[in-house]
Chain A
Amino acid sequence: MIIEFLSKPWPWYVAGPLITLTMILMLYFGKQFGVSSTLRTMCAIGGAGKVAPFFKFDWRGQLWNIAFVIGGLLGGFIASSFLENPEAIQLNENTISDLTQLGIQSPGETYLPESIFSWSNLFSLKGFSMLVLGGILIGFGTRYAGGCTSGHAISGLSNLQLPSLIAVVGFFIGGILSIHFLLPLFI
């Protein structure tokens, strides 16, 4: 009964407050919510401090955040294994027709277009460049901006930081440019 209830898609007014709870719990445990710094930590763990001083810091002090993202990974596993929603995502009709025109089959039936996000597509030039370029832009951009959606849009805005507002405006400029000009090159 409870499982059935939880398996339905959670509306925005449930997810938003739970993200707030996540941020509050992190503050209560003495840390600031922000995911992208784990990428820097991984560079440091891998020995990047030998090459660039930016990675020369005591990464042991950041292991709490690595624990957090491993938790996120586990949460994804739990949700997909025990709380899976059998129905398609309720996308806007315009989104569905736009994506169908781009050649994406049955938008919303899965979380991702599997024609793009699959290992077999990775071995095509387009698929490989999309995933690798996307990842590099995420890693480079978040560190240049000093945070991602969690560090700027959630932690920064909640602390009324003007730099975070500028960063969030940047996220949206980049996202809109990407949808209209970059993405069509890859699908």
Chain B
Amino acid sequence: MRFIKFLAVGVLFGITLTKAEVISWFRIYEMFRFQSFHMYGVIGSAVVLCILAVWFIKKSAFRSANGGVISMVDKEKGWIRYLFGGILFGLGWALTGACPGPIYILIGNGFTVFIIVLLSAVLGTFLYGLVKNQLPH
């Protein structure tokens, strides 16, 4: 039962991304060709509001539900893994029109062939785990 709140937030996320057409392959194609403002509006407004929200949370004494201090983990320094990992992910994102969140949401929408994309993504993560120590980070 303690997971039900996360399930509920997930439902909100799933409905939002479906209704705003963020899960649409066409919208992602349009975004990567810079032919529409829609996706930039979605991501841009979310990022700006999230920056303000995190700034406010840090500045105020806003606490989490169980009374703890809200903290965010800093990313490790460096650039190689971020740039090259990012490029590899971008290649897959444009091909399937889905980043990890939308993969799940698309399956829920009835596009069940995305089960194959999900399994392949799990396989990709597994392959990374195998070669992780041979890669520059």
Residue ranges of A at the interface with B (Cβ–Cβ < 8 Å): 6, 9-32, 35-36, 38-40, 42-43, 46, 48, 51-52, 54-55, 63-65, 67-80, 83, 85, 89, 91-92, 94-95, 98-99, 107-108, 111-113, 116-119, 121-122, 130-150, 152-164, 166-179, 182-183, 186
Contacts and interface: CB of A to CB of B under 8 A. Distances in A.
Query: DSSP class of B's interface residues: helix, strand, loop or mixed?
Result: helix
Given A12-B42, A166-B79, A141 B85 contact: yes
Cβ-closest 3 pairs across A and B: A71-B10, A75-B14, A170-B86
A23 to B, nearest CB: 5
Contacts of A135: 92, 96, 103, 116-121, 123-124
B9 interface: yes
Nearest to A16: B45
A88 to B, nearest CB: 10
Given A80-B110, A144-B81, A171 B90 contact: yes
Contact of B129 (A48, A117, A159): A48
B61 interface: no
Nearest to B78: A163
Contacts of B17: 15, 72, 75-76
A76 B105 contact: yes
Contacts of B94: 174-176, 178-179, 182-183
A75 B85 contact: no
